[in-house]
Amino acid sequence: MPNPLKYNKKFDELNEEEKKLLAINKKTIADFVEQSSSISDVNYATRNAHAKTYAAAEGTLWIEPDIPESLQPFFDKDKFDLIIRFSNAQLKIQNSKKDIPAYGFAVQIRDEKGLLLANYPLVNFPLFPVNSVSTFLKLFTAVNKFYIKKWSSLFPLLFQVIKMIPSLLTGDMIRHTIRLFRKRNDFILSFDYYSIGAYRLGDQMIKIKLCPQSVDKNTGRKQKMKDSLQNYLQAQDFTADVLIQICYKLKDQPINKLNVEWKNTPFIKIGEVRINKDSLLDSRDCTTELLSFNPFESKIFFQPVGKIQKLRDEAYRVSVQTRRKINKLLHGKNS
């Protein structure tokens, strides 16, 4: 294989128009979070994405003993402690038996002293439908306004959705959309999970894939997903392989084109995520709800790469700050 392509901060840089649109978007994120308790009819402020928590659990990342030498400095222990949050991607929490099959598997990695090393919010769809930063910001802003203002913001939202359609028509997007539709009724732990974009691993750039081992896709088919997941984790151990791909060439492994898969770069197994049975945390506890899985809070050499990822940095920060401020006030009232 050729030498890995090195990280450059130019991959993350926004132009002036994108910065202005981002400022507008951040305002709508704060407005959404401030009103999120009434939007979702809950007694706390929710996240601006993946608002619905199915479960949270403690786990362990076990490192493969024979990982490539170039990766060993980043995985210098046999194991690392994890906190894991399982979620649904919807902005609004709904108490429905059937949720859209858009799931999150957010992983927080800590060292032996309990200090944060990295956050990786993984999802069960490997691609992102928008490459244009401006288009994405206008769409996300329209979505937030729709939840706040409802029908008066419907037509601006539809207009932005129509503009997004061309980027949905890549072969990879169509193939994975069909695959997701076929698996729409499957158990949450039977899906593979992916980093949406690239992440740094020192000077290298990688994508991450998590592949569960031996999970029956029909588990809890007649239950709500939250109930079936919690029942499973209380009664059974869970193990998943952790794989990475390394970026060598932008033509084959693009950083800022997220609606196509990386090709011509092998998957390398670096370890396994394990959750022992009965390792659930209380997802209703305020401390659990205040957890942040912002990947930009990671050590600098584990942070996300790319323009869309840079937007997530700003969005996470505004969402977390607003959510924590409100929830701490609410927690104080209820204590």
Kindly indicate the confidence band of residue 48, based on its pLDDT and cuts at 50, 70 and 90. low
The residue ranking higher by pLDDT, 122 or 321, is 122
Question: 208-243: per-residue pLDDT in tens?
Answer: 999 999 999 999 888 999 999 999 999 999 999 999
| pLDDT reported for residue 285 | 64
**pTM (predicted TM-score):** 0.86
Q: Which two tokens stand for residue 2?
A: 């050729």
Confidence check: pLDDT of 299 > 90 = yes
Question: 257-298: per-residue pLDDT in tens?
Answer: 999 999 999 999 999 999 999 899 986 665 666 677 889 889
Cα–chain center distance at 290: 16
* Alpha helix ranges (H) inside the chain: 16-40, 133-149, 154-164, 171-182, 225-235, 286-289, 307-334
The CA-atom distances, in angstroms, between 57 and each of 102, 277, 281 are: 19, 10, 5
Domain 9-334 indexed as CATH 2.40.180.10: yes
Three-class DSSP category at 97 = coil
List the one residue out of 82, 71, 20 whose CA is nearest residue 202. Answer: 71
Is residue 86 within 8 Å of residue 193, measured between CB atoms?
Answer: no
Q: Where are the chain's structural domains? A: 9-334
| Residues near 110 by beta carbon (within 8 Å), at least 6 away in sequence | 80, 81, 82, 83, 116, 117
- Angle, CA of 278, 282 and 284, to the nearest 5°: 150
